Structure 1
């Protein structure tokens, strides 16, 4: 799924913010899930799916600043997925280990 998100990142980001706007526009609340309508359910499922898939990708992949990306996903859940999709290729920065070097 992450490959699809990376390949179509412009469309995914537009849909992510469109569904986020739909969620906020319907004045939906997680406390009253039985009262929300169909558009709010669709937007909630889409947002959670994309957010979780990117979160698992961050945990699984070797990145240079993994702590920064994970904390940014928790602190800024509406902004971090869009930035991560564009910066994903640049985040791969494996540093050679001092103990793994051979002389």
Structure 2
């Protein structure tokens, strides 16, 4: 199996382009990118009028076991409970592998 590209697009209760939102994005980058197995962590700002979400995260995992380890890592679990579930108003998640 090839690597997994995990992406999530989302909007925040705090809206766009303000100090609270910038703090959320920075803390997310620091905490999530440091979890073992996370590769190529990126933060995006949405620019398409065709998408209803404001921001996005993208990361790559070498394989399913690396992705599972990330999902079950204590830092990720705490992040979801304390940050994601309280700050994110809506989101869509997608996981992709290269089509062969």
Mark the structure with the bigger radius of gyration: 1
Structure (1/2) with the larger strand percentage: 2
Structure (1/2) with the larger helix percentage: 1
The higher relative CO (CA closer than 8 Å, separation ≥ 6) is in 2
Verify same fold: TM over 0.5: no
TM-score range, shorter chain: 0.3 to 0.5
